[in-house]
Amino acid sequence: MGLTGQTSKEGQRKAAMAVLAHASAAEIAGHLADIVLPAHENLREPENGLVMLRGRIGGDGAPFNLGEATVSRAAVRLASGEIGFGYTLGRDAQKARMIALCDAMVQSADFSGEVEAKVIAPLRAGLHAERNRKAAETAATRVDFYTMVRGEG
Amino acid sequence: MTTFAELPPGFADKVLSAQSTFRSVMDAMARPGSVQCVTANAGVPSGLMRGSAAIALTLFDHDTPIWLDAAMSETTDVARWLKFHTSAPVIADSSIASFALIGDAGSLPALDCFAFGSNEYPDRSTTLILQVDSLTRGPAFELKGPGIDGTALLQAMIRPRDLFERLAINETLFPRGIDIVLVHDDAIVAIPRTTRLVASGV
């Protein structure tokens, strides 16, 4: 695979992760039910753990440990050899497993089109709609202040 | 990521499998010379036996440096599998390893290549996991020591043949010393540092 091919694949995986991580487990499961899943096995059973979140004040201060967050992770391998990894905040083991499965399918030549069209795209549309709705809701409460011109300069 | 394509999976049920394997190892250590069975099922990379794979998944973690013998490090299969599932560092210096996985026990290096621990911390020694040809037939070894009522009889095909003579150093080193777990397929036998050989026959 050429460098550009690899980069675009990586970009596609990143974009899929960004959507899947924000979607709820029930939504992912609902969309996954629409496609015939390829044979797969759990390479790493879903497990929970902690990651240390680090912060910087103002984005450029000295790094400090903000606190720990619970994450779940899983790794799934398709019968054809592609391996997908799933990490998500929280303790939802099934969500981590489904994300890993989607990640594996995104890498597979046979399934990437289908999973993109039937799972990722609808989830992305839902996510955008929700963000737009919230933005519109917030925008409706906006108050613009302006100053009347007072007399002479 | 085709590099992972052949990687065998870990425990199907992490918690219960690790607990039952831990129990088997603990029983084996508590009753030296007795044959315990590891029931947990896990994927096994080539070169590793089922028992040693289960022990690795149960006892190894990022704090336990692992040393692999020539047979284990022939291919990168074992090292990659250990790295993925246990995140244990595989090191080249056997004298600071927490565990040593020995695939070809015939070429076991001298025991003083491994860590004996210190008098303050005798637990910082290397535990050898030795894969052997059989734990049910072969020459008989009569063992005694804590955990054994009288003497225990172990029949095993153990290489190197002079393993117990080499382990005599445990007597002078105590409380430092080397603990050994013998593995054949899913059977394990522990020879902790307190166990002594009484007699061996054929």
User: How high does pLDDT run on average in chain B?
Assistant: 92
CA–CA gap between residue B122 and residue B111 (Å, rounded): 16
> pLDDT band for position A9 (50/70/90)?
confident
ipTM of the complex: 0.74
Q: What is the pLDDT of residue B1?
A: 39
Nearest CA in chain A to B6: A81
Express each pLDDT in A54-106 by its tens digit.
999 888 889 999 999 999 999 999 998 899 999 999 999 999 999 999 999 99
> pLDDT band for position A149 (50/70/90)?
confident
CATH class of B2-201: alpha beta
Going by the DSSP 8-state scheme, the letter that residue B159 receives in this structure is S
> pLDDT band for position B166 (50/70/90)?
very high
Measured in angstroms, the CA of B10 and the nearest CA of chain A are apart by 6
> Of B6, B9, B1, nearest to A42 (Cα)?
B9
Tokens read off for B175: 């409380």
CA–CA gap between residue B48 and residue B56 (Å, rounded): 10
* Rg of chain A on CA atoms, in Å: 21
Q: What is the pTM of this model?
A: 0.83
Tokens read off for B176: 């430092």
> Of B117, B98, B122, B108, nearest to B165 (Cα)?
B108
Domain spans of chain B, in order of start = 2-201
Q: What is the pLDDT of residue A147?
A: 77
Cis peptide before A38 (omega within 30 of 0): no
Contact criterion met (CB < 8 Å) for A77 and B1 = no
Q: What is the pLDDT of residue B4?
A: 58
What residues of B are in the A interface, CB distance below 8 Å?
1-2, 4-5, 7, 9-14, 84-85
Contact criterion met (CB < 8 Å) for B13 and A45 = yes
| Average pLDDT rounded to a whole number, residues B42-66 | 94
Nearest CA in chain A to B14: A45
Residues contacting residue A142 through CB under 8 Å, at least 6 positions apart: none
- At A51, give phi and psi (nearest 5°): -125, 145
Contact B176, B156 (CB under 8 A): no
Residue A127 CB coordination number (10 Å)? 15
CA–CA gap between residue B117 and residue A63 (Å, rounded): 38
Express each pLDDT in B113-123 by its tens digit.
999 999 999 99
Measured in angstroms, the CA of A138 and the nearest CA of chain B are apart by 43
Over 80: is that where the pLDDT of A148 sits? no
Contact A74, A42 (CB under 8 A): yes
Chain B residues with beta carbon closer than 8 angstroms to that of A82: 1-2, 5
Tokens read off for A141: 């409460």
> Of A106, A78, A110, A84, nearest to A15 (Cα)?
A106
- Closest CB to A45: pick one of B1, B4, B11: B11
B143 or A150, which is more confident:
B143
Express each pLDDT in B11-43 by its tens digit.
988 899 999 999 999 999 999 999 999 999 888
Tokens read off for B74: 């022939």
CA–CA gap between residue A112 and residue A15 (Å, rounded): 13
Contact criterion met (CB < 8 Å) for B10 and A44 = yes
A6 lies within 8 A of chain B by CB: no
Checking DSSP bridges between strand B127-131 and strand B66-68, what pairing results, if any? Answer: unpaired
CA–CA gap between residue A75 and residue A86 (Å, rounded): 6
> pLDDT band for position A1 (50/70/90)?
very low
Percent of chain B with pLDDT over 90: 81
| Average pLDDT rounded to a whole number, residues B78-107 | 93
CA–CA gap between residue B128 and residue B182 (Å, rounded): 8
A109 lies within 8 A of chain B by CB: no
| Average pLDDT rounded to a whole number, residues B41-64 | 93
* Rg of chain B on CA atoms, in Å: 16
Q: What is the pLDDT of residue B2?
A: 37
CA–CA gap between residue B145 and residue B159 (Å, rounded): 22
Contact criterion met (CB < 8 Å) for A44 and B4 = no
Contact criterion met (CB < 8 Å) for B1 and A107 = yes
